[in-house]
A and B are shown apart, each in its own frame.
Chain A
């Protein structure tokens, strides 16, 4: 399978705490992206990091990428109840078709 793997599968934190999710993949990549999915809805693109980048920020989001370990992490700082959702990593391989392969997702619950 080309799918990435994420851990933890589920994460429950208090509002105001930080949440960290990890993604691992198995091949060389061109870029890695993170998406959020609220229950029963489509996915929303959050942030993209290229293979030659190590860290990227967007608001309360911080993404890191370690291509030597084939892993990425998403940090959400000062979490809010509205951050409750599933989060998916997705990567584009550096060779082959221009497709995205998705991870299995982390279900984040932020308790008010």
Chain B
């Protein structure tokens, strides 16, 4: 039981490049989210999904796309990387009922130059 797995752990992109951050969970959780963590800002929600085929925007969705074709996978796509997207990205999942806490992945540290 691996929990939430994020790849890659580190990535450097040039401005304008695109890439996909991978997230997979093996706990059959319906609810999955992407957060970014910036110094002094805590975690901010980018996108989330309440089940396969269903996604919605969070607080800071601009510049990111998501899809949820399976329960297990929730990839985050950066369409055209910008230096402002330099951050640490966390994927998290949880099961219903709604009161459960999240299980987090170990994060992807992204630098855009």
| Interface of chain A residues 80 through 109 with chain B (CB within 8 A) | 88, 90, 92, 97-105
| Complex contact A3–B42 (CB within 8 A) | yes
Please encode chain B, from 43 to 71, with 1 for each CB lying within 8 Å of some chain A CB and 0 for all others. 11100101000001011000000000000
Q: Which residues of B contact A100 (CB under 8 A)?
A: 33, 45, 102
| Complex contact A98–B31 (CB within 8 A) | yes
A42-B45 contact in complex given A97-B56, A98-B31, A99-B33, C-beta closer than 8 Å = no
Distance between Cα atoms of A48 and B45 in the complex (Å): 19
| Complex contact A50–B99 (CB within 8 A) | yes
Number of interface residues of A (CB under 8 A): 28
A78 at the interface (CB under 8 A from B): no
| Interface of chain B residues 1 through 15 with chain A (CB within 8 A) | 4
| Complex contact A88–B59 (CB within 8 A) | no
A71 at the interface (CB under 8 A from B): no
Please encode chain B, from 82 to 111, with 1 for each CB lying within 8 Å of some chain A CB and 0 for all others. 000000001010000011111111110000
Q: Which residues of A contact B45 (CB under 8 A)?
A: 99-101
A98-B41 contact in complex given A42-B104, A42-B106, C-beta closer than 8 Å = no
Which listed residue (B35, B41, B59, B101) contacts A33, Cβ 8 A? Answer: B101
Q: Which residues of A contact B (CB under 8 A)?
A: 2-4, 30-31, 33, 35, 40-46, 48, 50, 88, 90, 92, 97-105
Contact sample, A vs B, 18 pairs, CB 8 Å cutoff: A2-B59, A4-B42, A33-B101, A35-B101, A41-B107, A42-B104, A42-B107, A44-B104, A45-B102, A48-B99, A48-B100, A97-B48, A98-B50, A99-B45, A99-B48, A101-B45, A102-B44, A105-B42
